[in-house]
Amino acid sequence: MKDYSEKRDFHRMQVESEIEITDSKGNTFAGTCRDLSATGMQLLVKNPVAVGEELSTVLHPNSDQFPPLETICEVTRCEPEGDGFLLGANISEVTR
């Protein structure tokens, strides 16, 4: 049985890696992936993104041993964080 501190089905992995993000209008911008799980990710970006927005992402690994992780995800949360915005996103598809 899971204790109260971790009720998620999948554990989060702390990442802190650069991520390339493309919105539904084709605008591409950079962000930082702070954490990643099997079903979602937390992203730090400079500008706000609307909840419900579909994003394509390319997470570049810190090493050449692994290929980039490419996903389609939906923004579920957008909150101010320092001089940027913290996004919560559900991964709907892993494309690579």
- Which residue carries 């954490």 as its tokens? 35
Residue 71 has, within 13 A of its CA and on its CB side, a CA count of 20
Beta bridge partners of 88: 42, 77
Distance CA 59, CA 64 (A): 12
Which DSSP string do the residues of 54-94 spell out, in sequence order? EEEEEEPPSSTTSPPEEEEEEEEEEEEETTEEEEEEEEEEE
pLDDT tens for 46-94 read 999 999 999 999 998 777 888 899 999 999 999 999 999 999 999 999 9
The residue that leads in pLDDT, 54 or 5, is: 54
Distance CA 23, CA 85 (A): 15
pTM of the model: 0.84
pLDDT tens for 16-32 read 899 999 999 999 999 99
